[in-house]
Structure 1
Amino acid sequence: MQVSKGLFAALSLTALASTAQAADEVVVYSSRIDELIKPVFDAYTAKTGVKVKFITDKEAPLIARLKAEGANTPADLLITVDAGNLWQAEQQGVLQPTQSELITANIPAQFRSSTDSWTGLSLRARTIFYSTERVKPSELSTYEALADKNWDGRLCLRTSKKVYNQSLTATLIETHG
C-alpha cells in the first residue's frame, strides 16, 4: 500500500493540525532528505495556509533530540523511513498517542502502533535483484530462498545494523517462527 504524496500530506498533517488546534505553523522532525519532503510540505502549506517548519537529520539524532527536549519540544510530528525507528522512538517514550478518525478510517490497524503512538503512511518494497544471465527466477523468488546454500558467498546485502534489515528479519521471524 503506497500512499500518494497528497494523501500523505492530508493524513499526517491534517491529523497534526487538528491535534495542534489548527496552529499557524507545525514543526516536523524528519529523517527524509529536504529535497524529498519539502514538496509535500509546500503543497500542504499552499492548500491549508499552515506553514511547515521542518528539521531533517538521521533518525537517531532526531530521537535523541526529542528525548532531550522532553515536554518542551517544539516538534509536532516525527517522520522516519522505517517502522523500526518509530518503534524505537515509542520504546524511548518520545511519542504521544493521538486519536484521529481520519487515520483510523484510512490506515489499517496493522500499520499503526497498538498504542496509537505512530502511524505508518507507506510500505517499503523489498525487492530482490539478480542477473538473469546467472539466476533463474524460479531459483530466487522469495526472501526465504536466500537462505539456500546455493547463495553462500553470492549475496550483496546492506549491513544487519540497518533498521531496514532488522525489520525484514523480524517480519520473517514473526511469519515463520
Structure 2
Amino acid sequence: MKKLLLASAITATTFAPMAMSAEEVNVYSYRQPFLVEPMLKEFTEETGIKVNVKFAKDGLAEKLVQEGEYSPADVVLTVDISRLAELSDKDVVQAVNSDVINGNIPSQYRDKEGEWFGVTTRARAVYSSKDRVGKLPASFDYMDLAKPEYKGKICTRPGKHPYNVSLVSAMIGHYGEAETKEWLEGVKANLARKPQGNDRGQVQAIKEGLCDYSIGNSYYLGKMLEDDKQKVWAEAVYINFPGQEDFGTHVNISGMAMAKYAPNKENALKLMEFLSGDTAQKMYAKDNFESPVKPGVEASELVASWGDYKADDLSLDEIAAHHEAAVKLLDEVKFDL
C-alpha cells in the first residue's frame, strides 16, 4: 500500500483520503501496479478521466466496510473468485447492468446478479523439471500429486493463499470434502519443503534442484521469461495443464466490481466497460500473458505456444461456495505447518 506510481495519469496512494471530481475515478486494487498501470494509463489517454489507485495486498473488503457510505472507492480490482465473492458477501459492491460489459464478458465469467465480472483467466498449472522429469502426459491429473511416487518432489506456495484455496475448492466441487482431504494429506506428504514463497519461487526451486514439480499460475511463466534474472528459472521447466482426460485444468479469474457507494459512478462504469473491451483485453494478453475473457481476443503468441487445453467448466459461483470448506480442510491437515 505504499508504492507511488509516477505514471502521468495515475496516482497511487496509501489509505489517505482520495480526491473526488467529475473527471476522476478512484480504484482500490489487489492487483500489482505493473499489471494494471498500462491499462489505466490508456484509459486516461482515451477518456481524459484521471485514475487514482490505492494498492493493497489484503484488507480491502474490510476497509470498504469500515468506510461505509463515506468510501471514496468507485471500482475494485482483484484476483481470485473467492475475493470477488467476499466483496458480495460483505455487501460492499453494487450490481451493474451494462449491455457493453455483458456483451464482452461471457456469462460463465460474471456474477449472475451483476456484482462482479471477470476480466482475465489464468490456469492453475503444474510445472515440471525439463532435465529430471520432462513434459507430463495428457493423462496427468491433480490427483496424481498425492501418489507415493511424488514423495519429496513437490513445491508450492502456502496452501491458504487464495490461488490454492480456489484449487482446493474446485477439488471439493468434483470429489467432495472427504476425498479432497485425503488428497491434501497425500500432497502434503509429498512436499519437498514447507509451503512458502510465491509461484515464481517454486519454479526457482525446481531450477535449483529442490523439487521436480510445482503448482503455479500460467501467466507467471511469461513474466519470468521476460525477466533477465528469472528467465533461467522459466527455461528449466515445462508448463503442464492437468486434467485433460478428466474435468480439465482449474481456471481462476482476475476481476472487477463497482463499489457500493461509488461517488463517481458514471466514470466507474466507463472504466469497467473499458477493461472489458478490445483495447484492455489485448493489453492483458500481450503485457501480462493472461487469457482474455472477451471472445475473439487472441492470447499472446507466447501463451498460444503453450498449447490449447481443456478448462474446468465448474462454475465460479460453486468454487466460491466451497471456499470456507477448503480453508477448513487445509487447517485440518495442517498443510502449511
TM bracket, shorter-chain basis: 0.7 to 0.9
Equivalent runs, 1:80-159 vs 2, <5 Å: 80-136=78-134, 137-138=136-137, 141-159=140-158
TM-score (norm 1): 0.79
Aligned to 1:4: none
Partners of 1:54 and 1:133 in 2: how far apart?
Answer: 43
Aligned to 2:170: 171
- C-alpha contact (below 8 Å) 1:140/1:146 kept by paired residues: no
Q: CA deviation at 1:160?
A: 1.3
Render the CA deviation track for 1:97-142: whole Å, top value 9, x for unaligned: 1111111111111111122110011111222111233325239733
Aligned to 2:27: 28
Structure 1 residue corresponding to 2:77, chosen from 79, 103, 106:
79
Q: Give the structure, 1 or 2, with the largest relative contact order (CA under 8 Å, sep 6 or more).
A: 2
Amino acid at match of 1:51: K
Q: Secondary structure at the match of 2:94?
A: coil
Partners of 1:38 and 1:133 in 2: how far apart?
Answer: 37
Partners of 1:103 and 1:47 in 2: how far apart?
Answer: 18
Aligned to 2:68: 70
Partners of 1:138 and 1:132 in 2: how far apart?
Answer: 13
Aligned to 2:159: 160
Q: Report the aligned-residue RMSD.
A: 1.8
Range with bigger deviation, 113-122 or 132-141: 132-141
Amino acid at match of 1:135: V
Equivalent runs, 1:6-25 vs 2, <5 Å: 23-25=22-24
Range with bigger deviation, 145-154 or 113-122: 145-154
Partners of 2:27 and 2:114 in 1: how far apart?
Answer: 18
Amino acid at match of 1:159: P
Amino acid at match of 2:63: R
Q: Paired residues, what number? A: 154
Gaps of 5+ in 1: 1-22
Render the CA deviation track for 1:43-100: whole Å, top value 9, x for unaligned: 1000111111111111x32111111111221111000121211111211111111111
Amino acid at match of 1:78: V
Q: CA deviation at 1:147?
A: 2.5
Amino acid at match of 2:144: A
Partners of 1:158 and 1:84 in 2: how far apart?
Answer: 17
- State the percentage of identical aligned residues: 36
For the pair 1:46 / 2:45, whether they are aligned, the reply is yes
Gaps of 5+ in 2: 1-21, 177-337
Partners of 2:73 and 2:138 in 1: how far apart?
Answer: 48
Higher strand fraction: Structure 1 or Structure 2?
A: 2
Higher helix fraction: Structure 1 or Structure 2?
A: 1
Partners of 1:34 and 1:151 in 2: how far apart?
Answer: 37
Q: Secondary structure at the match of 2:154?
A: coil
Range with bigger deviation, 75-84 or 32-41: 32-41
Partners of 2:41 and 2:29 in 1: how far apart?
Answer: 15
Aligned to 1:5: none
From the CA coordinates, give the structure whose radius of gyration is larger. 2
Amino acid at match of 1:164: Y
TM-score (norm 2): 0.43
Amino acid at match of 1:31: Y
- C-alpha contact (below 8 Å) 1:44/1:50 kept by paired residues: yes
Partners of 2:47 and 2:165 in 1: how far apart?
Answer: 38
